[in-house]
Amino acid sequence: MTTLPTLQAVRTTPEGLLWEPGERWVRGRKGDITVVDSRRPVLVWEPGVPVPLYAFPRADVREDLLRPAKNPPTGTHTGSRIFYDLDIDGELLANAAWTFPAADLADHIAFEWFRRSGKGLDHWYEEEEEIFIHPRDPHKRVDAIPSSRHVQVSIAGTVVADTHRPVLLFETGLPTRYYVPREDVRLDLLEATDHHTGCPYKGTAGYWSWRGEADVPPNLVWSYPDPLPAVGPIKGLLAFYNEEVDITVDGERLERPVTPFSRKPAPAT
**Distance between CA 193 and CA 264 in Å, rounded?**
16
DSSP category for residue 132:
-
Domains belonging to the chain, first-starting first, are 11-131 (2.170.150.40), 142-253 (2.170.150.40)
What's the number of CA atoms in the CB half-sphere (13 Å) around residue 224?
A: 26
What pLDDT sits at residue 3?
44
**CA–CA distance, 214 with 201 (Å, rounded to integer):** 31
- pLDDT score for 81: 81
Phi and psi at residue 72, to the nearest 5° = -65, 140
Per residue of the chain (269 residues), give pLDDT as tens: 444 344 467 899 988 999 999 999 999 999 999 999 999 999 999 988 888 999 999 999 999 999 999 999 887 888 778 999 999 999 999 999 999 989 999 899 999 998 777 788 999 999 999 998 899 999 999 999 999 999 999 999 999 999 999 999 999 989 999 999 999 999 999 999 999 998 999 999 999 999 988 889 999 999 999 999 999 999 999 999 999 999 999 999 999 998 878 875 545 55
pLDDT, residue 6, reads: 44
33-44 pLDDT tens trace: 999 999 999 999
- Residues 24, 35: Cα–Cα separation, whole Å: 17
Reduce the DSSP state of residue 114 to 3 states and report it.
Answer: helix
Q: Supply angle C-alpha 23, 46, 35, rounded to 5.
A: 50
> Which residues share a beta bridge with 43?
20, 54
